[in-house]
Amino acid sequence: MRQQLVLRVVVVLTLVLGVNYIAWRWLDSVNWSAWWIAVPLVIAETYSLIDVALFGMTMWKARRRDDPPAPAPGLTVDVFVTTYNEPVELVMRTAEAARDISYPHRTWVLDDGSRPDLAAAARAAGVGYIERSEDWTDRPRHAKAGNLNNALFQTDGEFLLILDADQIPEPEILDRVLGHFDDPAVALVQTPQFFTNVTSADPLGSQAPLFYGPIQQGKDGWNAAFFCGSNAVLRRDALMQLGLVGYVRETERSVREALHASRRLLDRAQRDAPDAVQAAVLHEVQEAAARALGSLDAGEPLSDVTYGFQREVDAISAQVVARDVASIQEDLAAIAALPIARDDEIGAVVVDEPALARLADREWSPLGAIESVQALVRAVDVDRGSEAQAVMPVATLSVTEDMATAMRLHSLGWKTVYHHESLAHGLAPEDLGTMMTQRLRWAQGTMQVMLKENPLGVRGLTVGQRLMYFATMWSYLSGFAALVYLAAPIIFLCFGVLPVTAWTVDFFARFIPFFLASQLLFVVAARGVKTWRGQQYALALFPVWIKAVWTAVANVWFGRPLGFAVTPKVRPDGTPSQWRLVWPQLLAMVLLVVAAVIGIVRASLGLSLWVGTTVNLLWVGYDLVVLSVVVQALRYRGFTGPEASPPSSARRRGIA
Amino acid sequence: MELTTDRSEGTAVLRVQGRLTMAAAGELKAAVDREVADGRTLVVVDLSGTAFLDSSGLGALVGGLRSARAAGGDLRIAGVGQQVRTVLELTTMDRVLRPYATVEEAVGAGR
């Protein structure tokens, strides 16, 4: 409690000093004559202040939970081990550990690779094996989210423990966390991810002690603990509700889109219609579509609207047939009246009701000849025929299914829990290329969610929850700020261009207190966990963050595939291709060193003042120390030491 | 739909390739009228390449029959497939537009 008070004081202090500094920067110290660097710098600094504010807000209500009660006996649990292409031995090591979890449960290997040898191994070990059903053939597979959704419909446990193929669970994992579900509003319990193949120096920054600790506890305080895809238990009911709500929403969206698009398509079809009769028919269909859209806007149930629309189209079709038949009968009568006698039975032709109905039905309808109408009729329906399953409980809108799933759970009013105890241990990537690809995907997934379902606008979230999701998304924009922070000192040292009006007492008196306060906030919030590596990578991976943002924008707004910017294939033994992965960082380091030398020479020659030069040299030094992590990562040859074990604080509660 | 025409003295054979539907009916009717007006009053519509017929297509055929008869000729259909035959039988129109097996048979059936 006292610790929390101290933290809040530091948060307030940091924000007051931060606003004091940034306000002065904007109002009084932007060097407008060099606006091209001065404005980006002050924007980057403002970005950072907002980032610190969001971090402060996250920490404000940090929640360290007490142990939950022991779970009631008799709950039904399915344990899912998800795999795509991991080695069979690795998957089976996890599957066997999952099988040996002490609380009664059933274990399933969810094999997206449909490998017969894994199926055999699973059978031999006495665990279930699930592969994709036939419904998924030729339909979007939705990666891991699809794999989970497929399994959800082949199992029936009340709770699901989800484990990545390499996340070996402790036998007591279910006993420790199921008690949280005594609260019927809890949909998810997330436990930390801890990696055993990582040295204490952690050159690739694999452990995320700040995230699986203070940050998750902070988010938990706002009822916004994140789902991280593995080492989490979910309530099936909640997921199913999500799937049903999502189904309705998704269907309504696609029906709406089809009706909207039909307006333009039918306009064009009317212009191109071969005759006035057809144009008139198209016009009628268009009006029916407009009425359907109106009913949707008026909040009428989707099923009624789509059914009504289909009926209207059927009626139009019947009219066309009736008109055709009438003209046929008129022709026949005219033929019968001709003076030339024939041996056929023209007088006897009667087209009866069933025949009329048959001519008008969906299969034979004259409207079927008009492609735009046919496509519209297919789209304005509720069967979601383009997907393998109409109901998709695990969100499929992003390459990272977890964040979107949790956000939607929150928007429906469910609670999530962060359980701070390491109960499953996994393997982290052991080379720079794999690590960077993984980070890129996380960042891309987060940006996709931000662009497609911005948490600030999602209905049903509390203000705190909105900001907790937004904070994570905001942090991935740091690549652009990093670029400015690297460029500004280089530009000053080489060319003497000042982004601020002067390096004066005014500047130091405002900047230094803010800087120190935010560092202090970090230290207090971290409560002793190692955060330096994370801080380094937050800046040093700036090219990854930038790439993630622009690929996500290109994907969401311009429909380009995310993978068009994949990390080049890397040989994990550290050969030159690894260097190519981090060329922007290496180039930045070279430029920083060159700029430092030039800056010293310029100051010695009296071309610039020593104050400014010293400030910028310190700045360069900081940048270099941060960026140096990529050199360490490049020299890393994979893990050889003894397996790491989680810090005692995380292994058992007691950190409080 | 794609329409090709073979003409000989007094006879025109119209080959309908594709679907004879609302979208194509007007074109077929116009083609029949043109042939009849040019004096080829025996019009044979070859439906062996026609996979689908709807009520509008049927209307075009009967409309063509009317033009041909009014000019003292006839319109005959040949080579109908399963779906077309079903539509004709359902509407009892096969009694008016008797399907001939081949174009030659239709032409040879006399006037």
Express each pLDDT in A306-364 by its tens digit. 888 888 888 888 888 888 888 888 888 888 888 765 555 665 566 777 777 778 777 77
What is the C-alpha end-to-end distance of chain B, expressed in Å? Answer: 29
Chain B residue numbers touching A350 (CB-CB < 8 A) = 92
For residue A421, give every residue at least 6 positions away whose Cβ sits within 8 Å of its Cβ, in sequence order, or none: A176, A191, A192, A650, A651, A652, A653
Using CA coordinates, name the residue in chain B closest to A319: B55
C-beta separation of A198 from A206 below 8 A: yes
Interchain pair B58, A324: CB under 8 A: yes
Which residue would you say has higher pLDDT here, A268 or A592? Answer: A592
Helix (H) or strand (E) holding B74: strand B74-78
Task: Tell me the percentage of chain B whose pLDDT exceeds 90.
Answer: 58
Q: Does B96 contact chain A (CB < 8 Å)?
A: yes
- The pair of structure tokens assigned to A508 is 């130091």
Chain A residue numbers touching B93 (CB-CB < 8 A) = 328, 349, 351
Interchain pair A274, B63: CB under 8 A: no
B contact test, residue of A335, A345, A372 with most B CBs within 10 A: A335
Alpha-carbon span A142 to A378, nearest angstrom:
23
> What single-letter amino acid sits at B32?
V
Helix (H) or strand (E) holding A151: helix A143-152
Determine the average pLDDT of the residues in B78-107.
89
Q: Please tell me the predicted confidence (pLDDT) of residue A207.
A: 86
Min CA distance, B73 vs chain A (Å)? Answer: 10
Q: Does B1 contact chain A (CB < 8 Å)?
A: no
Alpha-carbon span A468 to A102, nearest angstrom:
35
Using CA coordinates, name the residue in chain A closest to B52: A364
- The pair of structure tokens assigned to A470 is 């937004």
Residue entry with tokens 């009568």: A333
Q: Does B71 contact chain A (CB < 8 Å)?
A: no
Q: Does B26 contact chain A (CB < 8 Å)?
A: yes
Per-residue CA distances from A326 to A31, A108, A332, A345, B56 (Å) = 83, 64, 10, 18, 11
pLDDT tier for residue A616 given thresholds of 50, 70 and 90: very high
Among B2, B14, B54, smallest CA distance to B38 is for B14
Min CA distance, A285 vs chain B (Å)? Answer: 15
Among A368, A372, A384, A370, smallest CA distance to A263 is for A372
Among A46, A198, A169, smallest CA distance to A105 is for A169
Q: Does A324 contact chain B (CB < 8 Å)?
A: yes
Q: Please tell me the predicted confidence (pLDDT) of residue A233.
A: 97
DSSP summary character for residue A139: S
Interchain pair B91, A359: CB under 8 A: yes
Tell me how crowded residue A591 is: count the other CB atoms within 10 A of its CB. Answer: 18
Whether the per-residue pLDDT at A649 is higher than 70: the answer is: no
Query: E strands, A269-316, where?
Result: none
Min CA distance, B56 vs chain A (Å)? Answer: 6
pLDDT tier for residue A174 given thresholds of 50, 70 and 90: very high
Q: Please tell me the predicted confidence (pLDDT) of residue A143.
A: 85
Q: Please tell me the predicted confidence (pLDDT) of residue A115.
A: 94
DSSP summary character for residue A570: -
ipTM of the modeled complex: 0.89
Residues 577-606 of A with CB under 8 A from B: none
Residue-wise over A326-360: b if at least 16 C-beta within 10 A, else e?
ebbeebbebbeeeeeeeeeebeebebeeebbebbb
Whether the per-residue pLDDT at A182 is higher than 50: the answer is: yes
User: Counting beta carbons within 10 angstroms of the beta carbon of residue A369, is it exposed (0 to 12), middle (13 to 18) or buried (19 or more)?
Assistant: buried
Whether the per-residue pLDDT at A613 is higher than 60: the answer is: yes
For residue A508, give every residue at least 6 positions away whose Cβ sits within 8 Å of its Cβ, in sequence order, or none: none
Among B86, B110, B57, smallest CA distance to A366 is for B57
Using CA coordinates, name the residue in chain B closest to A330: B63
> What single-letter amino acid sits at B5?
T
Calculate the average pLDDT of chain B.
90
Q: Please tell me the predicted confidence (pLDDT) of residue A168.
A: 96
Alpha-carbon span A320 to A360, nearest angstrom:
8
Residue entry with tokens 């509390």: A462
Interchain pair B93, A328: CB under 8 A: yes
Determine the average pLDDT of the residues in B74-89.
91
Integer-rounded Cα radius of gyration of chain B: 12
Using CA coordinates, name the residue in chain B closest to A270: B23
Helix (H) or strand (E) holding A420: none
- The pair of structure tokens assigned to A144 is 């891991």
Chain B residue numbers touching A331 (CB-CB < 8 A) = 59, 62-63, 65-66
pLDDT tier for residue A532 given thresholds of 50, 70 and 90: confident
Determine the average pLDDT of the residues in A594-599.
96
Chain A residue numbers touching B91 (CB-CB < 8 A) = 325, 328, 349, 351, 355, 359
Task: Tell me the percentage of chain A whose pLDDT exceeds 70.
Answer: 92
Whether the per-residue pLDDT at A394 is higher than 50: the answer is: yes
Whether the per-residue pLDDT at A9 is higher than 90: the answer is: yes
DSSP summary character for residue A431: S
Min CA distance, B40 vs chain A (Å)? Answer: 18
Chain B residue numbers touching A359 (CB-CB < 8 A) = 54-55, 87, 90-91
Whether the per-residue pLDDT at B111 is higher than 60: the answer is: no
Helix (H, G, I), strand (E, B) or coil at A503: coil
Q: Please tell me the predicted confidence (pLDDT) of residue A231.
A: 95
Q: Please tell me the predicted confidence (pLDDT) of residue B30.
A: 93
Per-residue CA distances from A332 to A309, A328, B50, B86, B87 (Å) = 35, 6, 23, 20, 17
Min CA distance, A312 vs chain B (Å)? Answer: 19
Whether the per-residue pLDDT at A165 is higher than 90: the answer is: yes
Determine the average pLDDT of the residues in A5-17.
96
Whether the per-residue pLDDT at A570 is higher than 50: the answer is: no
Which residue would you say has higher pLDDT here, B6 or A346? Answer: B6
C-alpha angle A306/A310/A312, rounded to 5°?
115
pLDDT tier for residue A603 given thresholds of 50, 70 and 90: very high
C-beta separation of A55 from A48 below 8 A: no
pLDDT tier for residue A623 given thresholds of 50, 70 and 90: very high
C-beta separation of B24 from B64 below 8 A: no
Min CA distance, B7 vs chain A (Å)? Answer: 25
pLDDT tier for residue A268 given thresholds of 50, 70 and 90: confident
C-beta separation of A518 from A10 below 8 A: no
Determine the average pLDDT of the residues in A43-67.
94
Longest CA pairwise span in chain A (Å) = 119
Calculate the average pLDDT of chain A.
87
Q: Which of A2-16, A246-260, A367-381, A511-525 has the lowest mean pLDDT?
A: A367-381
Alpha-carbon span A235 to A642, nearest angstrom:
36
Determine the average pLDDT of the residues in A269-279.
80
Residue entry with tokens 């407009």: A290
C-beta separation of A86 from A51 below 8 A: no
pTM for the model: 0.75
Q: Please tell me the predicted confidence (pLDDT) of residue A346.
A: 60
- Identify which of A321, A344, A359 has the shortest CB distance to residue B95: A344
User: Domains of chain B, with CATH numbers?
Assistant: 2-108 (3.30.750.24)
- Identify which of B27, B54, B66 has the shortest CB distance to residue A364: B54
- Identify which of B55, B62, B95 has the shortest CB distance to residue A320: B55
Chain A residue numbers touching B23 (CB-CB < 8 A) = 274, 278, 369-370
Q: Does A326 contact chain B (CB < 8 Å)?
A: no
Of these ranges, A198-207, A391-400, B36-45, the one predicted with the greatest mean pLDDT is B36-45
Q: Does B90 contact chain A (CB < 8 Å)?
A: yes
Chain B residue numbers touching A338 (CB-CB < 8 A) = 69-70
Interchain pair A344, B98: CB under 8 A: yes
Using CA coordinates, name the residue in chain B closest to A359: B55
Q: Please tell me the predicted confidence (pLDDT) of residue A567.
A: 40
Determine the average pLDDT of the residues in A456-468.
94
Q: Please tell me the predicted confidence (pLDDT) of residue A544.
A: 94
Q: Does A367 contact chain B (CB < 8 Å)?
A: yes
